[in-house]
Structure 1
Amino acid sequence: MLFEPQGPALVAEMFRGALYALNRDRKRDAAKRLDFYHDGQLEHLQEVLALKFAEPAKLTHCFVNIVKKVVDLKARVYADEPKRSVDGIESDKALYAEIAEQAALSIKMKTASRYVKLCKTCLARPVWRNGRLDLDILTPDILDVTTGESPEDIQAVLVTHYPDNGKSEEVTYALWTPETWQRLDYRGNQTDGGPNPYGVLPFVPLWDRAPTDSFWIAGGEDLIVMQEAVNKALVDLLHTLEFQGFGLGWVRGAEGGGILDTGPGKIIELPKEGELGIAAPQAPIDEVVGAIDRLMKWCAVSNGLPGSSMSVDPTDESGVSKIVGNVELEESRRDDIALWRMYERRLFAVLRTVWNHHNPGRKLSDAATLAVDFADPKPDTSEKDQAATWELLLSMGLISPVDAVMERNPDLATREDALAYLIQVRDETAALKEQQI
């Protein structure tokens, strides 16, 4: 049974769209990006080598994951865990802390920020599962979305569920609208469904930048292309080392030809005018290594990172200090923070809706609001320099000892916890002084 007159047409439209060639290409591209990020590059490398070499099976395969490194360095919004605070009635604060812990909110949002840098568009979905609230991060390879007059006017979401056994006849789809949800089989026939219990789409779109003409944000192809170029160059390097990295002995003037079994302690009798020698290879090892290094640095620079972020020199500056102070990257992070602060507020509203539906006796109040304070990453400093900085800020009245102890011990989640810790330290110090007297 369908729950709205336009239901059959919507199902047919969404199902056809999921199979449309452009959507298939988009999903394959997203799946490839995720493979590259998660070190699943071997199969893709083998496909490239099969096009370039007559006998690719004889080549030594090798890749270095620059996609993951670039994405993780660019996704800096959640480099440090943000401080989330809820303003509402007395019970809201403790209830939201419980929800955030159940959903592993900080971990999931950090993963989401990386997937958005990689795929440019994702969805966050609060879901009630096994008696608790969870948060799913959905990537474009399993998504189809219908929008209205603007990319942010989402009217329907189709989620593809692939079985672990890979059988196409066991693929299912979940179709959501603000009014209904439906489960579809691999042919597009409805097998389950009902009214949408939340009254809104339980999804929050996450974009790498504000969408303009399309729900799916373009970009990022350069990183994938550069990764494939580096992988091919690494295979070329190993091939060159294997076939041109060693000298080849030769004999001139001997009759017949063939291979001589020679080595230390052996004497070879040569004919008159005969010669014995070793041909030195002219392998372009340095050129290939230099080309790989240059490709990786170009990839970093084109993504707003310093070239030194791809350096393997252990004497280079630390990874954090390569990023902190980079004007281009800091500006990009400020733009990201503005987006993700908005995403956090939207997600809070959907989390509240899903939670309240399944917990009618323990609801987050409608008056509850969320504030998110994103931390600024700082370069590594010595204990002495950090203490001097805190002393200066304390003397200027810009921070309190609570701020210093929370920065020193991130496990102190609230200011109340930090204050209690400072009181404990004060009392213990006073007790020790009394015992010394």
Structure 2
Amino acid sequence: MIETAQQLIQESLKDQKKLYARDRREAIYKLMDYYAGDNTAQYIEDRFSADAFREVPVSEFNVTRRMIDRMSRIYTLGATRNVSDQYDKMTFKKPHKMKHMEKMTRLVGTIATQVVFKQAPHPHFNYNPVYYFDAYFDTDPFTPYAITYPMVQNVYDVSDVTKLSYCYWDDMHYIIYDQDGNATFEQDHNYGVMPFVFTHREHHLNEFFVTGAYDICAANEQINILLTEASLGMRFQMFGQYVIEGMYEEEKIMRAGSSEIMVIPEPARMDIKSPKANVRDAIDLVKAILDLTAQNNHLWITFAEDGTSDRPSSGIALKIKDLERFEDYQDDVELWEMYEHELYRVEKIIAEANGIKLPDEMGLKFHEPDYPISAQDQIAVDTFMLSNNLITQKDLMLKYNKHLTEKEAEKLVNENKEVNAEGTEEAGQERSVFNRLLTQTPAT
């Protein structure tokens, strides 16, 4: 009896976990759809009758992408990684890949980034995001020892009719299996670690997976519903609804367009009723939803009709207005510094497995966004920093030319010094000759 009870409990737990995994997968797909703006009408169709969509098209405004992109500012100006010239060549894809990883982490909550080593056309790393995966844990509930996830299918290849495939990764093995659970490919990668780095939008609470931007997605869904209802209200308010009083339902009415005459029997009476749709209230509610959602995510928004959207503000005013968001940015910098070092640790292990030696440590610096200041104030700040030996001319060159490396910046500074020195000498010689001509005594 006890064994039967234990089996029932285990089966119940498995079923519950499967339901949880399915709900999480569907929620992630919904987040991805709203970020991409792809077929979001499917999520609000059940709120309306089928005939309503014949009157007006469903509203599909993309608010999610705008907010997620504004929240993702760690890699807006990029980051400087001081490792080696070889590492810079191997990670030429990393800057734009990390921008995408940050946005997807903000959206989904927790993603896995696979570090892939490629030999052609030259040794380099690639970074593949995995948005949905199942994690398996041992004693540490926050550190998975293995993951599985569905592989990307060739959905646009009409000739591809292969079954859905899945991947399994742990610290030693890589397995591909089909939807029936049959292994189709097995390989030992011998890295000793999973070639994945897990990024979370914030620290764990009580489980490994962190909640995504469901508040933004829900606000986007509610806004689409409100705007669709407002469009329906405006249509009925403009054209009205035909109403006939004093007529039996069995009697037929002949009607064919606005240029035709409608005949109704005596003593029936036809009228047009227009609902009192207050579109202004719907718009105000949309603005309130947007404003509240933005504030909850350390953002601020302005509306065109407020008269302040095109009003220029000073850098100090913008910094004060953006103070809460800047503090949130400072907290996120520490989190992403940790992810960067975890990523480098995996890169170093994979590189050594392929015969490439990388340094033990990586220097890292995120470029913080600057608030606009006047040219005169910028010159004063740069002059003060140089005169007090807080920065060098090479640092200024890197500041205004972020695509340069440190060696290229130093070389360019030295070349500019030589060119400017030559120009100064030529100008001095011209002035000396001119002065001699002025002071020369004319012959009598």
Corresponding residue to 1:95 among 86, 111, 129:
86
Q: Distance in 1 between matches of 2:338 and 2:77?
A: 18
Q: Distance in 2 between matches of 1:156 and 1:378?
A: 41
For 2:402, the equivalent position in structure 1 comes to 410
Q: Distance in 2 between matches of 1:319 and 1:135?
A: 41
For 2:77, the equivalent position in structure 1 comes to 80
Amino acid at match of 2:51: E
Corresponding residue to 1:397 among 389, 392, 404:
389
**The 10-residue stretch of structure 1 (112-121 or 374-383) with the greater mean CA deviation from structure 2:** 374-383
C-alpha displacement of 1:435: 4.3
Q: Quick one: structure 1 residues 176 and 309, their matched pair in 2 at CA, closer, same or farther if it must change by over 3 Å?
A: farther
Runs of 4+ with deviation above 4 angstroms: 16-19, 166-169, 245-248, 258-261, 278-282, 309-313, 316-325
Corresponding residue to 2:175 among 175, 179, 182:
182
Are the aligned partners of 1:169 and 1:186 in contact in 2 as well (CA < 8 Å)?
Answer: no
Q: Distance in 2 between matches of 1:18 and 1:129?
A: 40
Q: Quick one: structure 1 residues 46 and 192, their matched pair in 2 at CA, closer, same or farther if it must change by over 3 Å?
A: closer
Q: Distance in 2 between matches of 1:348 and 1:260?
A: 71
Report SS of the residue matched to 1:376. coil
C-alpha displacement of 1:225: 0.7
Amino acid at match of 2:153: P
Work out the number of aligned pairs and report it: 386
**Which structure 1 segments of 5+ residues have no match?**
1-12, 87-92, 249-257, 262-277
Report SS of the residue matched to 2:176. strand
Identity %: 22
Corresponding residue to 1:328 among 319, 324, 331:
324
Q: Distance in 2 between matches of 1:51 and 1:128?
A: 48
Are the aligned partners of 2:94 and 2:127 in contact in 1 as well (CA < 8 Å)?
Answer: no
Are the aligned partners of 1:30 and 1:139 in contact in 2 as well (CA < 8 Å)?
Answer: no
Q: Distance in 1 between matches of 2:287 and 2:311?
A: 15
Are the aligned partners of 1:50 and 1:56 in contact in 2 as well (CA < 8 Å)?
Answer: no
Report SS of the residue matched to 1:163. coil
TM-score by length of 1: 0.78
Alignment of 1:139-288 (within 5 A): 139-141=130-132, 143-165=133-155, 170-245=163-238, 282-288=276-282
Are the aligned partners of 2:34 and 2:64 in contact in 1 as well (CA < 8 Å)?
Answer: yes
C-alpha displacement of 1:107: 1.0
Corresponding residue to 1:49 among 45, 50, 65:
45
Q: Quick one: structure 1 residues 37 and 406, their matched pair in 2 at CA, closer, same or farther if it must change by over 3 Å?
A: same
Q: Distance in 1 between matches of 2:33 and 2:119?
A: 29
Provide, for residues 275-331 of structure 1, a one-character-per-residue CA deviation record: whole Å limited to 9, x for no partner.
xxx999854222222222222111111212124389886414579975775333222
Which structure has more relative contact order (CA 8 Å, sep 6+)? It is: 1
Corresponding residue to 1:112 among 83, 98, 101:
101
Q: Distance in 1 between matches of 2:321 and 2:410?
A: 32
Q: Distance in 1 between matches of 2:135 and 2:223?
A: 34
Q: Distance in 2 between matches of 1:159 and 1:46?
A: 25
For 1:303, the equivalent position in structure 2 comes to 297
Q: Quick one: structure 1 residues 162 and 260, their matched pair in 2 at CA, closer, same or farther if it must change by over 3 Å?
A: closer
Provide, for residues 88-143 of structure 1, a one-character-per-residue CA deviation record: whole Å limited to 9, x for no partner.
xxxxx112111211xx11111111111111111011111124634333343333x1
Are the aligned partners of 1:240 and 1:283 in contact in 2 as well (CA < 8 Å)?
Answer: yes
Amino acid at match of 1:74: M
Q: Distance in 1 between matches of 2:372 and 2:379?
A: 13
Q: Quick one: structure 1 residues 260 and 106, their matched pair in 2 at CA, closer, same or farther if it must change by over 3 Å?
A: closer
Are the aligned partners of 1:119 and 1:220 in contact in 2 as well (CA < 8 Å)?
Answer: yes
Are the aligned partners of 2:43 and 2:221 in contact in 1 as well (CA < 8 Å)?
Answer: no
Alignment of 1:120-139 (within 5 A): 120-129=109-118, 131=120, 132-139=123-130
Alignment of 1:2-17 (within 5 A): none
C-alpha displacement of 1:397: 2.8
Q: Distance in 2 between matches of 1:356 and 1:325?
A: 48
Q: Distance in 1 between matches of 2:131 and 2:401?
A: 38
Q: Quick one: structure 1 residues 418 and 310, their matched pair in 2 at CA, closer, same or farther if it must change by over 3 Å?
A: farther
Are the aligned partners of 1:150 and 1:213 in contact in 2 as well (CA < 8 Å)?
Answer: no
Q: Quick one: structure 1 residues 138 and 147, their matched pair in 2 at CA, closer, same or farther if it must change by over 3 Å?
A: farther
Amino acid at match of 1:81: G
**Which structure 2 segments of 5+ residues have no match?**
1-10, 242-254, 260-271, 431-444
Q: Distance in 1 between matches of 2:182 and 2:215?
A: 39
Are the aligned partners of 2:234 and 2:277 in contact in 1 as well (CA < 8 Å)?
Answer: yes
Q: Distance in 1 between matches of 2:126 and 2:183?
A: 25
Report SS of the residue matched to 1:20. helix
For 2:371, the equivalent position in structure 1 comes to 379
Report SS of the residue matched to 1:170. coil
For 1:64, the equivalent position in structure 2 comes to 61
Amino acid at match of 2:33: D
Amino acid at match of 1:121: T
Corresponding residue to 2:310 among 315, 337, 343:
315
- 1:28 maps onto 2:26 in alignment: yes
Q: Distance in 2 between matches of 1:30 and 1:427?
A: 58
Which of these two proteins has the greater Rg computed from alpha carbons? Answer: 2
Are the aligned partners of 2:31 and 2:214 in contact in 1 as well (CA < 8 Å)?
Answer: no
Amino acid at match of 1:31: Y
Report SS of the residue matched to 1:308. coil
Q: Quick one: structure 1 residues 147 and 331, their matched pair in 2 at CA, closer, same or farther if it must change by over 3 Å?
A: farther
Are the aligned partners of 2:150 and 2:165 in contact in 1 as well (CA < 8 Å)?
Answer: yes
Amino acid at match of 1:99: M
C-alpha displacement of 1:151: 3.4
Q: Quick one: structure 1 residues 393 and 312, their matched pair in 2 at CA, closer, same or farther if it must change by over 3 Å?
A: farther
C-alpha displacement of 1:353: 1.6
Provide, for residues 176-227 of structure 1, a one-character-per-residue CA deviation record: whole Å limited to 9, x for no partner.
1112221111111111113232121111111112224311112532111101
**The 10-residue stretch of structure 1 (60-69 or 220-229) with the greater mean CA deviation from structure 2:** 60-69
C-alpha displacement of 1:398: 2.1
